[in-house]
Amino acid sequence: MKSSSFQQDSQPAQSQRSPLLQAARNTQSSGWTLSIYNMRTPPPMIIGIVSAPVGLVLVFVAVLTPQWRQGPINLGKNTAVKSDGLWESCLELQDTKQCWPVTTVYQRDEIVQWSRALMLSSLLVCGMGIIVASVGIRCWMDFPLRNVAGASGVVIILAGSLCITPLTLYMTSMQEISPDTHTQYQSGSSLYFGWAGSCIEIFGGIALALSFTCPTFERCREPGQNAKRPNEVDY
């Protein structure tokens, strides 16, 4: 009596199973098992595709803003703040700010020229990496292209490295660039934007590069099945 009542109670529970799980059972005949987990974008890919554009924006701000170095200048009874960037210089006195293109001596400095080239290269490489990552992650498809997403991570890491190099070089040599004996320069806000952006890019690139070592979840495979699942195919 107890066993018969248990069977009767279990029948409604079986009838209420999710249609998705019933569909997964029907796919066993073809050698595949539907996995809800595998149909979702892995968290490292999500972190990478979100972090890379954020870092790109911060690096772009660092390239445009003229606060790579700044220092006080005495103008009679008043003290102004002079700042230099890659493209223009500014002088701020109280509520007044005036900017102009950088001087010829400044822009001919090798460190400034290298900084311009490497920062622009970083923007270009990071943009290409984001495009490749979008193709590899394929949020509109069930399964991502792991190797493509991993390759995009390597590209974005390279972009972050291209940004950190000129920032560090400029910071260590800012006093020697177009030297001004009357001004003691310090690191400006543009350098901090660049460092933050490059670190975020490298972090996002590492997250995407983890796609190369995507783990295999044996619990998603039926016992005795040795065929590859769609997410195990190398592209």
Residue bearing the bigger pLDDT, 139 or 105:
105
Could you tell me the residue range of the domain that residue 127 belongs to?
41-210
- Here the CATH number for the domain that contains residue 110 is 1.20.140.150
* pTM of the predicted model as reported, rounded to 2 decimal places: 0.72
* Residue 181 pLDDT exceeds 60: yes
Task: Please write the tens of the pLDDT for every residue from 47-77.
Answer: 999 999 999 999 999 999 999 999 888 877 7
β-pair partners for 96:
93
> Is 129:155 a contact under the CB 8 Å cutoff?
yes
**Per-residue pLDDT, 145:** 84
Q: Would you say residue 76 lies in a domain?
A: yes
- Counted domains in the chain: 1
Q: Would you say residue 46 lies in a domain?
A: yes
Average model confidence (pLDDT) across the chain: 78
* Residue 7 pLDDT exceeds 80: no
Extract the tokens encoding 73: 């200048």
Match 């009679």 to its residue by tokens: 76
